[in-house]
């Protein structure tokens, strides 16, 4: 019985000690995605990504126009087909069908390469910015003595009340004006990686 009492007392002391320690830990929160989009580097990267995306889109639009032209030509030939010119038109339609298939394959390949190019460029341009933002968040958290900093933009924080918003401290560390507004991404960027 005495051992049971000692065990219960020990558990109570440990439990109260843990509560006391956790009550002293500071918790902060930040919208890291917004800070990320406020950086001057993001605006520059975003402009480069938009230009690349526009270039790839124009290239694909030219290919779509070529496809549409050939398809219209094939439809016209099919409508002009008669018993008298059936063999000649069928041969032309077969050639046009092959050309349409080739254009469609080229379009698919250009789309695939364009998507890969955009992803590579996005990674190349945005990773250093993500690192810079995360370093600033970590630095502010250490300077201010936070045990935890929750990212409200990640969607994983269901509820929070209290804690301190460290956004303005991180903005100051990154040299971002307090009244700056985020830039809308040219292409989806995803969340800043931690």
pLDDT digits (tens, 9 = 90+) for 9-50: 444 444 444 444 455 788 888 999 999 999 999 999 999 999
Collapsed DSSP state (helix, strand, coil) of residue 174: helix
- Both structure tokens of 94: 């077969």
Q: Which of 39, 188, 182 is nearest to 118 (CA)?
A: 188
Q: Please indicate whether residue 125 or residue 78 has the higher confidence score (pLDDT).
A: 125
* CA–CA separation, 55 and 65 (whole Å): 16
Looking at residue 85, the DSSP 8-state letter turns out to be: T
Quick check: 88 pLDDT over 60?
yes
For the chain, the average pLDDT equals 82
- Ranking 21-30, 59-68, 74-83, 126-135 by mean pLDDT, the lowest is 21-30
Other CB atoms within 10 A of residue 39 CB: 22
What is the model's pLDDT at position 139?
93
Quick check: 7 pLDDT over 60?
no
Q: Please indicate whether residue 54 or residue 158 has the higher confidence score (pLDDT).
A: 54
> 148: part of which helix (H) or strand (E)?
strand 146-151
Quick check: 5 pLDDT over 70?
no
What is the model's pLDDT at position 58?
95
Give the CA count within 13 Å in the CB-facing half-sphere of 6: 3
Q: Confidence class of residue 160 from pLDDT cuts 50, 70 and 90?
A: low
* CA–CA separation, 149 and 156 (whole Å): 12
């Amino acid at each position: 019985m005495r051992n049971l009492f000692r065990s219960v007392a020990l558990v109570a002391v440990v439990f109260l000690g843990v509560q006391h320690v956790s009550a002293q830990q500071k918790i902060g929160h930040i919208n890291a995605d917004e800070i990320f989009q406020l950086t001057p580097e993001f605006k520059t990267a975003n402009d480069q990504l938009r230009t690349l995306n526009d270039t790839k889109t124009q290239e694909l639009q030219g290919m779509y126009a070529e496809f549409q032209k050939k398809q219209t030509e094939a439809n016209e030939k099919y409508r002009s087909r008669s018993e008298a010119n059936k063999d000649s038109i069928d041969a032309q339609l077969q050639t046009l069908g092959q050309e349409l298939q080739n254009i469609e394959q080229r379009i698919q390949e250009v789309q695939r390469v364009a998507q890969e190019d955009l992803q590579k460029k996005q990674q190349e341009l945005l990773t250093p910015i993500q690192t810079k933002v995360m370093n600033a968040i970590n630095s502010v958290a250490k300077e201010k003595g936070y045990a935890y900093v929750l990212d409200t933009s990640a969607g994983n924080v269901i509820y929070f009340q209290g804690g301190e918003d460290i956004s303005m401290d991180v903005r100051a560390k990154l040299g971002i004006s307090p009244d700056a507004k985020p830039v809308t991404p040219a292409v989806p960027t995803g969340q800043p990686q931690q």
